[in-house]
Amino acid sequence: MAGSRTRTPQVIDLAEQLISDIESRELKPGDRYLTTAAASKMLGVGNGVANRALQLLERRQIITRQQRRGAFVANLPGDGPMPPLRRVHFLVHQNYLVTEGVGSDLVMLGMQEELPGVHVQISFLPKENAEGYVADLIDQSLTAKARDGFILVRAPYEVHQLVSNSGVPCVVYGGVYPGVTRLTRIDRDMSAVGSLAMDYLLDRGHKQMAFLSRQQSLPGDHNTMDAIRQRLGARQFLADNLTERFLPTASNVCEAEVTRLLKSKNPPTGFICRSQRLADAAMSVFEKQKLEPFKDVDLVLCDYHLLAGHRPQYIYPRPAYSLEKQGKHIAKMLAGHARGEVVRDEIIPVELDDSAAPRG
């Protein structure tokens, strides 16, 4: 359908190339396979990306990997029991993967560990007639021998309602719209995200705060905003102690608005940013105005998709589940739906990670 795009995440493309290599070389279970360095050379990518592609084959139980011994073929592609799903669609907003990071390789790795052999496809919802586009995908899945699963990420209300009515296996990665039933979700505790962020700023002594969010608010945003206001009220602050702005994705717009707020009569010194793009823009303004973070201003980032082994650059509410573990839970929930089981919502606990703050 015009206006939409689909793509397979890079790590899955590379894993498919490795599978083709195993098949073309007619390797058998027990045969030695490529090292990370050899896979990197064959695929023309860095060692880190090649390693994730090999990890994906391991999750699919096609190879085994042993320390100091390397990789070995375990099962030939296509062997093993039929998975409960044929394919999984990530249905996402056109700009979401660029601005938010969902659909990362780590989420995919977690899903493949639970659903080895299931094809994962990211489908970008068209700006016009997203409902019709998804209806076509559902029709195709209902005629297939094995069912497709659907993951909804910032999809519009009409898509939520359509998928709910269709009865296809589905998990919402986020919040469900009010009035939509029969959809299961997995999400962070967005109320706790707001409470932790505001309590941190208040404990740091801030009197004027600003909440910077996306132009379009979704159900999870409502929970966060409610919690922020509740914490303000509990600490005897007034409505005019908080400024709220809902901004487009363009960084220059956010920078201009933060600059304007800092020049106001009662400028905010504590900031809560919904996305990293907003946080990065705010930090750019702080640097230009020679405002020192953790001294002149403080900022808490709500959505921080931090890769394993990377040191945080922001204070943020850290989910109890890693991205890979979130992928595993999504896959378990989808598989449960495909088997006709009762699948319940899953709310991921969060705790404040302040390791980005200077010590001493």
Task: Give 166 or 203, the one with higher predicted confidence.
Answer: 203
CB-count exposure of residue 189 (10 Å: 0-12, 13-18, 19+): buried
User: What pLDDT, on the 0 to 100 scale, is given for residue 1?
Assistant: 44
| pLDDT on residue 233 | 97
Flag whether pLDDT at 57 surpasses 90: no
| Greatest mean pLDDT range, 68-77, 104-113, 317-326 | 317-326
- If one counts every other C-beta atom within 10 angstroms of the C-beta of residue 197, the result is 30
Please give the average per-residue pLDDT across 151-171, as a whole number: 92
pLDDT greater than 60 at residue 8: no
Higher pLDDT, 253 or 80: 253
Does residue 110 or residue 191 have the better pLDDT?
191
Q: Has residue 259 been placed in a domain?
A: yes
* Distance between CA atoms of residues 237 and 110, nearest Å: 43
In a domain, 289, yes or no: yes
Residue 151 shares a structural domain with residue 231: no
User: Is 358 within the bounds of a domain?
Assistant: no
Asked, for residue 121, whether it belongs to a domain, the answer is yes
Is 123 found in the same domain as 146? yes
Q: Please report the sign of the dihedral spanned by the C-alpha atoms of residue 13, residue 101, residue 88, residue 248.
A: negative
Query: Considering the domain boundaries, does residue 2 fall inside one?
Result: no
Contact assessment for residue 357 and residue 315, using Cβ atoms and an 8 Å cutoff: yes
| Banded pLDDT at 77 (limits 50, 70, 90) | low
305 shares a domain with 231:
yes
Range of the domain at 122: 85-188+321-348
- For the chain, the domain total comes to 3
Position 101 scores a pLDDT of 56
Q: What does the pLDDT look like over 215-234, one tens digit per residue? A: 988 899 999 999 999 999 99
157 and 218 in one domain?
A: no
For residue range 281-297, list pLDDT tens digits in order.
Answer: 999 999 999 999 999 99
Contact call for residues 104 and 305 (beta carbons, < 8 A): yes
Q: In this structure, are 326 and 311 located in the same domain?
A: no
As a whole number of angstroms, the distance between CA 244 and CA 276 comes to 17
Q: Is residue 77 in a domain?
A: no
| pLDDT higher than threshold 90 for residue 158 | yes
First to last CA, the chain: 57
CATH number of the domain within which 302 lies: 3.40.50.2300
Question: pLDDT-derived band of residue 99, with 50, 70 and 90 as boundaries?
Answer: low
Mean of pLDDT values over 94-118: 72
Domain check: are 141 and 59 in the same one?
A: no
pLDDT of residue 212: 98
Note the pTM of the prediction, 2 decimals. Answer: 0.80
Q: What's 37's domain CATH number? A: 1.10.10
Domain identity same for 278 and 304? yes
Give me the mean pLDDT over the 112-136 stretch.
Answer: 87
Query: In percent, how much of the chain has pLDDT > 70?
Result: 89
64 and 153 in a single domain? The answer is no
* Segment 262-269 mean pLDDT: 97
Q: Are 212 and 268 in the same domain?
A: yes
* Residue 27 lies inside a defined structural domain of this protein: yes
Instruction: Specify which residues 153 forms β-bridges with.
Output: 92
Mean pLDDT for all residues in the chain: 88
Are 180 and 275 part of one and the same domain? no
Same domain? For 102 and 180 the reply is yes
Do residue 233 and residue 173 come from a single domain? no
User: Could you report the per-residue pLDDT of 266-279, keeping only the tens digit for each?
Assistant: 999 999 999 999 99
Q: Is residue 184 part of a domain?
A: yes
